[in-house]
Chain A
Amino acid sequence: MSRFPPQIPRRSRTVYGFLGITAVLVVWTLLTMPVFTDTVEERRAVTNDAGDVVDYEVVRTERRYAVVNRPGLDTPWNTFRRANDDYIQIFRHIGRSTLRILLGFLISASLAVPLGISMGLFPRLRAALNPIVSFLRPIPSIAWVPLALIWLGVDEVQKLFIIFMGSFAAALIYTVEATLKVDPDLIRAAENLGVRKRQLLTKVLLPAALPSILSGLKVVMAICWTCVISAEIVGTSQGLGSLIWVRKEIADTAAIMVGIVCISLVVLVLDALFTLLERKLVPWMFLRERGE
């Protein structure tokens, strides 16, 4: 292979992308196809000489076709129609979840970034907090739901708490790593050029660590989305999480699918918005793409 990894032109990539999506829709449709079933037999009792029924014999066989929909999945068309009919409701759910996420994310990030930078700068603080962070990181957000309910009830604070607990450790770890990764030569160069110690933070360390901090926070925002779905299991009737959990009770698979698709789409949109923010804040990281 002369070129690794092998590449195809942009247009082909688009075509294959659509093929992939189409394949999923086709499989989905096939899975929801009506099934033709049931053979009906007419039988007659066979009696012996004493008049007891000893057997039944088939007199006539008839194949009947009943439309049986798999209960686990509604058709793509129904799902789309559901989304279309209920779009005001759905936007309300999206809005509520997004609000929760942004709030939770902001709380998480605004605490994790300063603390993470401090951990990068002060090895004693880092050593003291590392075990706690290692302990918190593997706990999935859903594990905080029971305690959150007991401690905080069912209001918005409880939702934010779950998002915070589920995302804080990750935000902290990304920030610490970003700080530790700063090229030590940059610090030396700045000091050599006469920058005083207290100016180092704002003049060198922050701008040097910012690109990695931001790309870490981008991942954290996606983590916040998984948290909000946990947070909305109980205690709310609003939000995409609540939508899919509530509709589960009546096996409304179309609504659940709409919720799932919306979660994915909203994450994609927020990701794109975050990239725009990155372009504003760290424009020098996007120079190469412009093609020098």
Chain B
Amino acid sequence: MTGPVLRADGVTMRFGDVVALEQLDLQVAPGEFLVVVGASGCGKSTLLNLFAGFEQPTEGTVELLGERIAGVEPRCGMVFQSYALFPWLTVTDNIGFGPSARGTRDDKAIADLIRLVGIEGFEDHYPAQLSGGMRQRVALARTLANDPDVLLCDEPFAALDAMTRQVLQEELNRLVETTKKTVVFITHSIDEALLLADRIVVLTARPGRVKTEVANPLPRPRTAKVQLSADYLRLKEQIWESVQEEVLAHMRATR
């Protein structure tokens, strides 16, 4: 595959009078880990919903592998901030949900995924019996079970405590390095972006547009230790300046 996996072309998204995104252009390369950072209300989630096919753009086109995304797109697997696990299904059945629905369930593949995300021993638990961190692992495995081309992550770790979050960030890195998935990840945490991303895109305050793009050359495999390097701090400062302007703009606009 030579062209981009995902492509947003002149995308404008309006909800009534609110313009969430305006003339946004974005491309995601195969195997790339793209992190989108922005002030709250900048339309980050809207962008992800367009890639997943939950919404259709008011103007412009969104494409997956050169085909226009016209409906919900199972090849773009979504990981939700709220986990969105099915409470009536056990861990195993949650992970097997997608394959079952498509008639391709394979118990060995599910067992492999359970090992991959580190939830062995909890196969027969229900989501209500799991901690937030464990739930998000299950959600990740559930999305991976469908073998999507792209992993869309909508602030998946935002509801977790700082320590669990760090562990999961490192595990996501490892996971993406082994599965070679293309990832679009949304967050408002610059630290999270620097730890995960190959490339970071800063969106402007509403209406959302690409403001800055920063390549993240920090060496892989990355762990939390990378946060101590001088390069890390320099990048963080650079991104923060860019984001700060938008946060202030957003505060002025909503005052």
Interface residues of A (CB under 8 A from B): 183, 185-186, 188-196, 199, 203-204, 207-208, 210, 282, 284-285, 287-288, 292
Contact = CB atoms under 8 A, between A and B. Distances in A.
Contacts of B77: 192-193
B88 A288 contact: no
A287 B126 contact: yes
A194 B98 contact: yes
Interface of B: 52, 54, 72-74, 76-78, 80, 82, 84-88, 97-98, 101-102, 126-129, 142-143, 146
Given A194-B101, A199-B101, A287-B126, A186 B86 contact: yes
Nearest to B154: A185
B128 A203 contact: no
Name the residue among A185, A194, A207 with the largest chain B CB count within 10 angstroms: A194
Given A183-B84, A282-B88, A193 B146 contact: yes
Contacts of A193: 74, 77, 97-98, 101, 142-143, 146
Nearest to B52: A192
A188 B54 contact: yes
A207 B101 contact: no
A292 B98 contact: no
23 contacts: A183-B82, A185-B84, A188-B72, A189-B84, A191-B72, A192-B54, A192-B76, A192-B77, A192-B78, A193-B97, A193-B98, A193-B146, A194-B98, A194-B102, A199-B101, A208-B88, A284-B126, A284-B127, A284-B128, A285-B87, A287-B128, A287-B129, A292-B129
A203 B87 contact: no
A171 to B, nearest CB: 22
A285 B52 CA distance: 30
Given A188-B80, A193-B142, A207-B88, 13 more contacts: A185-B84, A191-B74, A193-B77, A193-B97, A193-B98, A193-B143, A199-B101, A203-B101, A284-B88, A284-B126, A284-B127, A287-B126, A287-B128
- By Cβ-Cβ distance, the 7 closest A-B pairs, closest first, are A193-B98, A189-B84, A194-B74, A185-B84, A191-B72, A207-B88, A195-B101
A191 B84 CA distance: 12
Nearest to B73: A192
Contacts of B76: 192
A185 B128 CA distance: 16
B75 to A, nearest CB: 9
A194 B97 CA distance: 9
